[in-house]
Chains A and B, each alone.
Chain A
Amino acid sequence: MAPYEKLNLPFRWEFSPVRHTADGSIRWTWKAYTQSGKLALECEDTFEMLTDCMEHARTQGYGRS
């Protein structure tokens, strides 16, 4: 018998460097994948610092089990 509650597996959060198209500098963005590898969430912004990028991801659920 299948469980009533939907399985709620955590995302795999990925923080990756991207080159800024305007000045060529490296900026940071994040994506969240399901455990099966399907893209679930994607940040539309980029950040100068990885810390800022992580902070933004945190608002979307990163770091909360």
Chain B
Amino acid sequence: MKTGSATIDPALFQLAIEQTKDYALFLLDATGHVISWNLGAQRIKGYAPEEIMGRHFSVFYTREALDRGWPGHELRVAGMEGRFEDEGWRIRKDGSRFWANVVITALRDEQGKLVGFSKITRDLTDRKLHEEALAQSEERFRLLVEGVLDYAIYMLDPDGIITSWNAGAQRIKGYTANEIVGKHFSRFFTREDLEGGKPWEELAIARQYGRSEIEGWRMKKNGDRFWARAVITALHDATGRLRGFAKVTQDLSQRRYIQDLEQAARNVSEFVAVLAHELRNPLAPIRAAVHVIESTPAGHPAQDAMHKTIARQSAHLARIVDDLLDISRVTRGEFTIERHIVDLSEIASHAAETAAPAIEAGKHLLTMDFDAQPVRVEGDADRLAQLIANLLNNAARYTPESGHIVVSTRAEREWGILRVRDTGRGIDPAWTERIFAMFVQGRPVLERVGSGLGIGLALSRRIAELHGGTLRAYSEGENKGSEFVLQIPLAATMEMTSETHESAAATSATPPAAPRRVLIVDDNKDAASTMEILLKSLGHEARVVHTGIEALQVTAEFKPDVVLLDIGLPDIDGYEVARRLRASKSDRSFRIVAVTGWDQDTDKRKSQEAGFDMHLVKPVAPADLEKALAQRSGATLH
């Protein structure tokens, strides 16, 4: 034998083949019978040369391969093409299987006649088993990932394009694999996050640190938001090149919802505690004043002061109730304003009177510095006065005694500006925005304004916003005073309405009512008798009943001009009483006025439908009562 320039001894070559142990090297004749056998063949297949020589090579094949005629096929292919290569299961002498890599080469003589085949077989059982184990493991993992419903598990390429999608991802995000694979994962982010570049930031962090973990709002296919916890892991190949990212997202909306509920429950609990405290504050002096009045002879000088105390504290109680109703309106989205052209300076001067008790208590110097011209804005005089009074109460309560409060108004370009500045405790700059949140816990300074319920600033800002304006707080820090700035668009050049301060004007403008016959229907005996005394002191004739049935009976005989009717009665409610009264008196010869604690718009609508002429909310101010009695029958419902 000769290869290149070297000559190999055929005997040596024969010996090398025979001694090779790692490969089964043997020859077949043209019909497939074994005609040579080496040590490797003996080791791999288990046959000694004398056992196998002359036998057909099909003994190495499995039953399934034999049934398919595979040994003959191999030889035919090798005969036609010169070579055949295959991998498959083969059988050892002891019947055990091994995974074989087989190469069969056709051997031809110099005339090209097929004289036999050489066959080289390698035992690749270990590799095969390893591959199968790996494939099984990968399959199990794939099925596991695909079947997970609680987590969205998917892959991204290095640019953030989605390359795989599991059932959990479909369940949580709403997209099928067909819809989303190939798209960029940024579509799961909210508009705010997109504007802030969040998706790319997350990938950059994962790329740099190997992992990024974040909680935030994500978008579903249908546009809904869900609260997600997402982990992105960078995937590198053996050379360290970034191949993409694995992303696991968990929907924590339920947990977030529960946390929000728990927080809301804590807020409500704290709010109720504060409310109880705030209600007790004015009640204590009222009870003390009543005691003084009872224990002193009529006309005693102390009684006048006690009456003033009761008036002041009951007005404070009424403000608390008003704030509660406002909060209810805000949460239901029903907080609205009326629009008239009003002067911000004039409103500020009225608001200062409202806040006078707090300023008085703090012995503060109050400076009112108004613009030379009316600062005309289009808005609701009562709501703006409420806002400014809140700011003033706020300043008065959080400024140490004998401080200085300055209220100024200015028309600056297209804005009406009102500033309330004080020399008080100030605000930590970190809190100047958060103090406007409702019921926020842990506010260290200025936490309770208005009625002390922690809602005054939130309401005030809402009022400013409804006027198309803003309300902001400024402070250089604690104990450095603070400034609240209200900014509202100036009104176009329109005449100011005469209703600028309707309620204040109405209070004094309503002439005393002519003496009326008034039927009071209220199951609260104290409330009924107080009303009776008040009416009699105003020169009216009054009768009291405590049930709906009594009201119907007494009306026929007493013939009242006005029925002051409570809604919640023990037998039939006030609505039903009104309906029955209206059914029996179609000429509306008397007025029916609801006197109730319910002040929602739906309550007012219900009372109007039942036949009430007017709706007053407890506690009824004497001025409102006068107004109700002064109007003629059939007046519009307020």
In this assembly, does B374 line the interface, its C-beta being within 8 Å of a C-beta of chain A? Answer: yes
**Least CB separation from A16: chain B residue:** B365
A64 CA to B371 CA in the complex, in Å? 11
Residues of B437-491 whose CB lies within 8 A of A: none
**Least CB separation from A62: chain B residue:** B349
**Least CB separation from B305: chain A residue:** A48
In this assembly, does B268 line the interface, its C-beta being within 8 Å of a C-beta of chain A? Answer: no
Residues of A within 8 A of B343 (CB): 65
Indicate with 1 or 0, residue by residue over B362-374, a CB within 8 angstroms of chain A CB atoms. 0111111111111
Interface of A is mostly: mixed
| Partner-binding segment picked from B68-76, B351-359, B563-571 | B351-359
Residues of B within 8 A of A63 (CB): 345-346, 349-350
Residues of B within 8 A of A17 (CB): 360, 363-365, 402
Max chain B C-beta neighbours (<10 A), residue from A14, A50, A55: A50
Residues of B within 8 A of A14 (CB): 365-368
Contact B363 A65 (CB under 8 A): no
For residue B358, give the distance in angstroms from its CB to the closest CB of chain A: 10
For residue A11, give the distance in angstroms from its CB to the closest CB of chain B: 9
Number of interface residues of B (CB under 8 A): 25
Contact B345 A13 (CB under 8 A): no
Contact A65 B365 (CB under 8 A): no
- Asked if A51 meets B353 with Cβ closer than 8 Å, knowing A14-B366, A14-B367, the reply is yes
Contact of A12 among B346, B360, B367 (CB under 8 A): B367
Contact B366 A65 (CB under 8 A): no
Contact of B366 among A10, A15, A49 (CB under 8 A): A15
Contact B372 A51 (CB under 8 A): no
For residue B111, give the distance in angstroms from its CB to the closest CB of chain A: 127
A49 CA to B298 CA in the complex, in Å? 24
For residue B592, give the distance in angstroms from its CB to the closest CB of chain A: 35
Contact A54 B402 (CB under 8 A): no
- Asked if A15 meets B369 with Cβ closer than 8 Å, knowing A49-B360, A65-B346, the reply is no
Contact of B368 among A49, A55, A62 (CB under 8 A): A62
Residues of B within 8 A of A16 (CB): 365-366
Residues of B265-310 whose CB lies within 8 A of A: none
A55 CA to B370 CA in the complex, in Å? 17
- Asked if A9 meets B402 with Cβ closer than 8 Å, knowing A14-B366, A50-B360, the reply is no
Contact B356 A10 (CB under 8 A): no
Contact of B353 among A10, A26, A54 (CB under 8 A): A54
Contact B346 A50 (CB under 8 A): no
**Least CB separation from A55: chain B residue:** B353
For residue A24, give the distance in angstroms from its CB to the closest CB of chain B: 13
A64 CA to B350 CA in the complex, in Å? 11
Contact B360 A13 (CB under 8 A): no
Residues of B within 8 A of A64 (CB): 346
Contact B372 A10 (CB under 8 A): yes
For residue A15, give the distance in angstroms from its CB to the closest CB of chain B: 4
Contact B363 A12 (CB under 8 A): no
Indicate with 1 or 0, residue by residue over A1-32, a CB within 8 angstroms of chain B CB atoms. 00000001110111111000000001010000
Residues of B within 8 A of A26 (CB): 360, 363
Residues of A within 8 A of B402 (CB): 17
A24 CA to B359 CA in the complex, in Å? 19
Contact of B373 among A12, A54, A58, A65 (CB under 8 A): A65
Contact B345 A65 (CB under 8 A): yes
Contact of A10 among B350, B357, B370 (CB under 8 A): B370
Indicate with 1 or 0, residue by residue over A26-51, a CB within 8 angstroms of chain B CB atoms. 10100000000000000000000111
For residue B555, give the distance in angstroms from its CB to the closest CB of chain A: 41
**Least CB separation from B409: chain A residue:** A65
* Beyond A14-B368, A63-B349, 7 extra complex contacts between A and B, CB < 8 Å: A13-B369, A14-B367, A17-B363, A49-B360, A51-B353, A62-B349, A65-B374
Closest 7 CB pairs of A and B: A63-B349, A50-B356, A13-B368, A15-B366, A17-B363, A50-B360, A65-B374
A interface residues (Cβ-Cβ under 8 A, vs B)? 8-10, 12-17, 26, 28, 49-51, 54-55, 58, 62-65
Q: Can you report 20 A-B residue pairs in the complex whose CB atoms are below 8 A from each other?
A: A10-B371, A10-B372, A12-B368, A12-B369, A15-B368, A16-B365, A17-B360, A17-B365, A17-B402, A50-B356, A50-B359, A54-B349, A54-B352, A54-B356, A62-B349, A62-B368, A63-B350, A65-B343, A65-B346, A65-B373
